[in-house]
Structures are given as C-alpha cells and as structure tokens.
Amino acid sequence: MTSYPKEMQESIARVEATRPARLSTKFPRLSLQEQETLLKGFHPDYRPEGKRRLRVGPSWGEAVPHELADLLEAYPLLDPKAVDVSRPDVDVDVLVIGGGGAGTVAAIWAHASGIPAERILIATKLRHGDSNSIMAQGGIQAADKPHDSPAIHYLDVLGGGHFTNDPKLVRALVEDAPEIIRWHEDLGVMYDKEPDGTMVEIHGGGTSRKRMHSCKDYTGLEIMRVLRDEARSRGIPVLEFSPAVELLTDHGGQVVGAVLWNLETGEYTVVWAKATVLATGGWGRLHIQGFPTTNHYGATADGVVLAYRVGAKLRDLDAVQYHPTGAAYPDQLVGLLITEKVRGMDAQPLNRLGEPFVHPLEPRDVESAAFIRECLPPEKGGRGLGILTPTGMVGVWLDTPMVDILHGKGTFQRALSSIYRMYIRFDIDPTREPILVYPTLHYQNGGVVIDEHGWTGIPGLFAAGEVEGGVHGKNRLMGNSLLDYNVFGRRAGIAAAGWARLASPGTPTLAHVERYVHELRSAGVPPERKAPLLLPEYRGEKALARMVDLL
Amino acid sequence: MNEVTVFIMGKGYRVPAGLTIMKAMEYAGYRLTRGCGCRGGYCGACATVYRLKGDYKLYGDLACQTTVQDGMYIAQLPFTPAERPAYRLEELQARGETLLALFPELARCVACNTCTKACPQKLEVMDAVQAALRGDIPGVADLTFDCVSCGLCTMRCPAEISHHHVWQLARRLNGAYLTPRAPHVAQRVEEVRAGKFKGELDRLVAMPKEGLVAAYKARDIEP
C-alpha cells in the first residue's frame, strides 16, 4: 500500500537503507550556542521583514507580526454608536469569553469558588469545546515522578523559553502541575497508566525528565471532553456561536462585561459582568508569514485585540511557535499536527538522502529551524536536502516505522491512533512508510500580560490559556499548553470569583473604544482595517469576486 | 485545473479535484460557521452525509477529512440533538447498571449495526452499545476512546440512543473509579503542599540569568 509518487518512493528507499544503522543511534544535541546560531539563521521569527512596531496602544513601539499588527491597528467591527449597552440582556457575576480548555476550567473553578452556576456565563465563538485544546495530541507535563521535581521542570521551561519567561508564572505552572493531574484523575480523565496506576510518561522536546502524561494521542480531546462534561454537570450556561466583539468598561476603566454578536442571526447581546475572564485562545488562523497552521478555525487572536483596546499590555508576541512537524503530504493534510510524541517514541527526522540532521527532540523553535535549513535551497543558505511533493510543498521525512521496530508491533496504532487514522485514509501506512513533515504555525507564545492569579492589571479583567503571555516566554515546550490552560484557567476562575464578590462596577460604556478610535485616527491607520477578525477568509477567489450583498 | 462537480445541498458546483468536502464548500463560496471546528478531525463539528453517483448508500464522514468525488451529493449536519441526563460523577457508582439506569434507551438496541457503519472513526460502535448493556464500563471506555462525538451514529440509530453521552459517562466512570490512582502523583501533591520544593523554587525565581543558564546547562538528562 502506498500513494507516494515515484520520486518520493526513491527517497524512501534511501530511508529504508539507512534505517538499520540508525536504530541504535541518535543525532547529538546542540549546545546553546549552536542553537542560537541556527535560530538566527533560519527561524522565521528572525526575519525582520515579518514584523513591525506598533504605533498605537499600551505596547506602543513593540514589534509584532504584520498579521497581528493589522488587527491591533484596526477600527472596531462594531460601531460603538450602533449599540445600546446601557441595559443588559444578561447580567452575571463572571463572564468567561471562550469555551475551550482555559474558559471551561475557569468557569468550573469560579463555580467551585461559590459563584452559582446561573451567575456564570461562558460565551464562545463556535461550539463549546471547539478549540486548540481539543486538538492537542501529545501530552501534558507535570513533575510527579520521584526522580523529577518542580524545580527541574522550572529549569526546562525557562531554558525552552530562552530565559525570557516571567518567573512567577513559571513557578505557578510547575508548582500546580501535580495537583492538576490529580484533579483530572478525580474527574475521570483516562491517562495512559501501568496496571498499578503508575503514569506512563515520556520525553518531550526540551525536557530533561520523562514527564509527559498522555491519553494515547488524543490527550487534548480526552481532557477537553471531560472538562466540558463536568461544566455541563454543574449546569454552567454556555452561549455558543456568540463571540465577544468588544469589552465593556465603566468610567474608571474597569472591565464590566462584553458585547457578544450572534454569528448566525447578526443580533448583538449585552452582557454585564462583575468579572470577565478572557480565554479566547491564539492566533494560528492569521497564517503569519503565509504558514499553514495546526489551529482550529476560530484561532484569530480576538482576545488580544479586545484586551488591547481596554489598555492591557502585551508581551512576547514577536515570537511565533512553528511546530516542527506539520503534515506536508498529502495535500489534504498540509499543516495538520503530527504530535511531538511521534519523535518522543523515537521516530527520527531525515533528509532526502535518508540521513539524520538534528536530534529529534530539540526545543520546538530549534527543531523547526533545522528543518527549514535542511529544505531551503543552497542559494538561500540552506542545504537543499528536502523532499519535494508533486504540488510543490517541501518537507523532511519522519521515520515513523521506527516506532514499531523499537517498541513492538502494534505500538503505533495503539499509542498514535489519531495519526494512524489520518494517514491510512489517504493510503499511507505510517507503520511501514515514513511521513513527510514541515514546520506549521502552532502556538501564540506570548499574549496579554498577567500576574500569577491571571489578573491582567486591568480591574475586572482576567486572562488564561493561549491568549496570555509570559508563561512560556518566547518558546513553549510541548505539554506545557495543556498544563498552562489548566493552571491559569483555575487560578483566573478563582481570582475572578473573588473579584466578583467585592466588585462595584459602574455604568458599562464603550468609551474606551471611542478613545481608541481617536488614537487610531491620529496615527493615520487606514479606515478600512477592522477587527476582531472572528473568522478567517477561506472562500474561493472566484466566488468572492462575484459576491454582492443584496438581502 | 482538474475539476469535479459536487452537489452542495443539492446544488451543483465545479471545484478542484482533491479538495476536502470542507474546502470544496469554501471554494464554492460558503462561509462556514456551523459544520466547521478544528479542521483536523478531532472536534466532530463537521459531520456530513453524502451519496455517490449511481450508489444507493447514504455515507457519513467528517467534512475536514474526506476528499470530494465527482458527482458527490453533500449535506452537512449542523447539530445533533442528543439527550444527556443530569448527573454528578461524584454521586454515581461505577456499577454495571449505572449506564442503563441513566440511559434506558440502550435497551432498545436491535443490533442492526447501522451505528458502526456510520462511524467516521471506524469504531465498533455496536459492540460498545452491547458492552454498555452488559454493564462492562471499561469495555465501553476502551471501544469509544477515539470517539469525536460527531453524532453520525446518533442520527442514524433506530433505537434513538445518544451514543456520545453514554460513552462520555462510561469513560469518566472508568477513569475515576475503575482505574488505580497514580500513587506518585498523590505523593507529589502532598510534597508540594508540605513545602518540600519551596526553598529551591524561591532560589530559582530570584536567580539572575547567568546562574539559570549555568544550572540549565548542568542539568542531567534522563536517557
């Protein structure tokens, strides 16, 4: 069984020829110095033409990708004068914006902190659970084995982030981690365990201990659906297909709710809230520098835009995470995630000649840079040793048959069933043939500045999950995003509940939006630019060119 | 360009061959809100039914994972109404009869196997229903672990079972009550509470970058 074209099969023959010798060897790890050189030479973040400095707002002067700058330097989608926010359609104690992992955890913990379910609202753009959280495959980190410790985890996180992380946030992350895993056990998450209950844990890129817990390669799906079920059990209301398009503020600048917009009917809904938790996720669907993405349909950085308009500071948004192993063939799968767990289970990246060129588990940015160097043509400074596909994509091999050879027949299908299923649909058997991969836009490393309680520094506004920044600095390690949304979702939910009990919100307004518009005009931002984006534009050019709005 | 004709909700469009159903709909000019979530085969938002030219069968699959074929008739399912009874996990016991007590319609299964044929994940759905009837919670959990809750089986089931809600409960019961807890996790939680790592973390948080870099370089890596 193979659907690989002949040219690719010739390269596969080389992969097979070098395999026996590679089974017992691993490419050496790079020193910090070598890593830095590789990053500077080949990581897309180091291309200065990819970014510009912000000309408006609280993080004025900071460089972010053009695709994000275009949304931050943009006028409101919603005309502040077209809506009446002086009366609420819904009035709650805690509004959670975003129904992925972080939002669901925040809502559960707000409830566990004593806020009645009917005084909480989760508002989300798509369905409850449609998120990057549900797509995570590989695992979640927690230092819970005897030879590991939160302090070692701390060092790994910091090294992976090139020492740019906020130490307080990293501490919260690693210190809460074991408790999060135990909470998941209480909720009924089916972690991979030995018969006696011992967690099966493996390495991820940049980890110095095996601390990656997983649920086959559906870790994100399993945790998300359990959390969603728990929120349902608690009776927490959810408004689906209702993205927030603007936050509300009172005269003192306190965030006191949001305006939601019904994606299907076009109606707006005014929500007054004593505390608001922003859990809108990341930015993959901005396709920064034209990269494909692993992210879900709604990952359009809406929360960063909303928070910026109320004065929240941003950080580390110059750092984009490209996951080294996005699918590069067949075309239907391009950009989709191939979990790092595949490399954690000893599949090696190889070039066209079947030669290894990088350790399989360098931190993600380093690994990605190595792949790009291998594929770029020599005239662009690369090695020109990538594999070309019939549609012009390029990639390197991931030698997936090694998983079963080294760990026993059947391991791949058992431990990596989602990847197996994905390829077998297209007549590629990853237990017998390697798969082609290339870096894909995966994660928003930075985001809204928070403290260790998820507070943004703006009264009434909290943030958790991918929308916030500082936890991972400029590069996140595998398994720390699921951990991040649990740790900070919980902390933000508890803090929001505490705030809601004491808050005395003033009259909700959109005054901050009008002030922001003024600032945009002074900076000469072109009037056609609007944000938040809400959904990416994927309609065919031919159809769009002839589209007129008549009804 | 190599094109095929697909019928979206009965209306024909020419689209490039090789696109997924989802991308074909977008190419034709649809802006998706319903029927589109993760776009990677995990969330189950894009359940789609279709027929092929000259074929009597009604097929079901995920729009983001299925390539269009010439003459395909496509209809997306925007939503699957399904009944989930109210329960709190902590008030339940992982006994054989728990599933049937909360989902009595399980007993209406006529073993027609339509659910299995409808599953885009190729799970043994009917076997899972039978395991649920027998009260075999770990069996249900294992058989349904890869379920993405797309609802295709539920839409076709003559017994009107809300499959994915049954599976969810079974997996939670299995994870919470029928699987041994990890002793090392409980122990570490206690150690953190007792402040075992506090001093070391205090020191690391206050450490200047040079010290951290040195400590990072010096750390030994578990083989």
B183: preceding bond cis by omega (within 30 degrees):
no
Instruction: Measure the CA angle with vertex A227, ends A224 and A231; round to 5°.
Output: 135
* Residues linked to residue A212 through DSSP beta bridges, in sequence order: A141, A202
Pick one of 3.40.50.720, 1.10.357.10, 3.40.50.1820, 3.10.20.740 as the CATH number of B3-76.
3.10.20.740
> Nearest CA to A308 among A405, A171, A446, A410?
A446
Write phi, then psi, for A221 (nearest 5 degrees). Answer: -60, -45
Asked if the Cβ–Cβ distance from B188 to A191 is below 8 Å, we say: no
Residues of chain B with pLDDT below 70 are 1
Burial-class residue A451 by CB neighbours within 10 Å (0-12, 13-18, 19+): middle
Burial-class residue A117 by CB neighbours within 10 Å (0-12, 13-18, 19+): middle
Distance CA A406, CA B24 (A): 40
What is the ipTM for the molecules in this complex?
0.97
Token pair of A42, please? 């080949």
Domain assignments of chain A as residue spans, ordered by start: 6-30+324-439, 88-319+445-502
Q: Which residue of B lies nearest to A173 if distances are taken between CA atoms? A: B201
What is the DSSP-derived secondary structure letter of residue B85? -
> Nearest CA to A283 among A274, A273, A275, A294?
A294
Interface check for B172 against chain A (CB to CB < 8 A): the answer is yes
Token pair of A536, please? 């990416």
Interface check for B2 against chain A (CB to CB < 8 A): the answer is no
CA dihedral (A531, A536, A539, A541) in degrees, to 10, reads 70
Beta-carbon neighbour count of residue A257 at 10 Å?
A: 29
Fold type of domain B89-177? Fumarate Reductase Iron-sulfur Protein; Chain B, domain 2 (1.10.1060)
Interface check for B194 against chain A (CB to CB < 8 A): the answer is no
> Nearest CA to A444 among A323, A307, A306?
A323
How many contacts, defined by CB atoms under 8 Å, are there between A and B? Answer: 224
**Which residue of B6, B21, B43 to mutate against A (max A Cβ within 10 Å)?**
B43
Distance CA A196, CA B140 (A): 21
Beta-carbon neighbour count of residue A118 at 10 Å?
A: 11
CATH dotted code for A88-319+445-502: 3.50.50.60
Mean residue pLDDT across chain A = 96
List, in order, residues 6 or more apart from A242 with CB less than 8 Å away. Answer: A123, A124, A125, A260, A261, A262, A263, A269
Cα–Cα distances in angstroms (integers) from residue A429 to residues A91, A394, A417, B93, in the given order: 53, 20, 12, 41
- Nearest-Cα distance to chain B for A135, in Å, is 6
Asked if the Cβ–Cβ distance from A185 to B146 is below 8 Å, we say: no
A330: preceding bond cis by omega (within 30 degrees):
yes
Contacts of A134 in chain B (CB under 8 A): 37-38, 42-43
When pLDDT is cut at 50, 70 and 90, the band that residue A1 belongs to is low
Kindly state the average pLDDT of the residues A300-312: 98
Q: What value does the CA radius of gyration of chain A take, rounded to a whole number of Å?
A: 23
Token pair of A10, please? 């010739």
Q: What is the pLDDT of residues A201-226, one digit of tens each?
A: 999 989 999 999 999 999 999 999 99
Instruction: Measure the CA angle with vertex A388, ends A291 and A9; round to 5°.
Output: 135
Query: Which is higher by pLDDT, B135 or A332?
Result: B135
Q: Three-state secondary structure along A515-540? A: HHHHHHHHCCCCCCCEECCCCCCCCC
pLDDT value at residue B1: 65
Would the pLDDT of A235 be above 70? yes
Q: How much of chain A, in percent, has pLDDT values that exceed 90?
A: 96
Chain B, residues 31-50, CB within 8 A of chain A, namely: 31-34, 36-43, 45
Kindly state the average pLDDT of the residues A339-365: 95
> Nearest CA to B129 among B121, B119, B139, B118?
B139
Distance CA A431, CA A347 (A): 11
What is the residue type of B58?
L
- Nearest-Cα distance to chain A for B93, in Å, is 12
What is the residue type of A539?
R
Number of H helices, E strands in chain B: 10, 5
The shortest CB-CB distance from A163 to any of B40, B66, B212 is to B212
Interface check for A66 against chain B (CB to CB < 8 A): the answer is no
Chain A, residues 435-474, CB within 8 A of chain B, namely: none
Q: What value does the CA radius of gyration of chain B take, rounded to a whole number of Å?
A: 24
Q: Which residue of A lies nearest to B219 if distances are taken between CA atoms? A: A208
Beta-carbon neighbour count of residue A391 at 10 Å?
A: 11
Q: What is the pLDDT of residues A400-410, one digit of tens each?
A: 999 999 999 99
pLDDT value at residue A392: 86
Asked if the Cβ–Cβ distance from A151 to B204 is below 8 Å, we say: yes
Q: What is the pLDDT of residues A85-130, one digit of tens each?
A: 999 999 999 999 999 999 999 999 999 999 999 999 999 999 999 9
pLDDT value at residue A357: 97
Q: What is the pLDDT of residues A410-462, one digit of tens each?
A: 999 999 999 999 999 999 999 999 999 999 999 999 999 999 999 999 999 99
- Nearest-Cα distance to chain A for B219, in Å, is 7
Distance CA A190, CA B167 (A): 12
Domain assignments of chain B as residue spans, ordered by start: 3-76, 89-177, 185-213
- Nearest-Cα distance to chain B for A391, in Å, is 11
Kindly state the average pLDDT of the residues A377-406: 95
What is the DSSP-derived secondary structure letter of residue A221? H
DSSP states of A433-452 as a string?
S-EEEEEEEEEE--EEE--T
Q: How much of chain A, in percent, has pLDDT values that exceed 70?
A: 100
When pLDDT is cut at 50, 70 and 90, the band that residue A551 belongs to is confident
What residues of A are annotated to the active site?
323, 343
Q: Which residue of B lies nearest to A417 if distances are taken between CA atoms? A: B146
- Nearest-Cα distance to chain B for A336, in Å, is 6
Q: In what order do the strands lie in the sheet containing A314-315?
A: A314-315, A447-449, A468-469
Find the helix or strand (DSSP H, E) in which A219 lies: helix A219-233
Chain A, residues 308-367, CB within 8 A of chain B, namely: 331-332, 336-337
Fold type of domain A6-30+324-439? Flavocytochrome C3; Chain A, domain 1 (3.90.700)
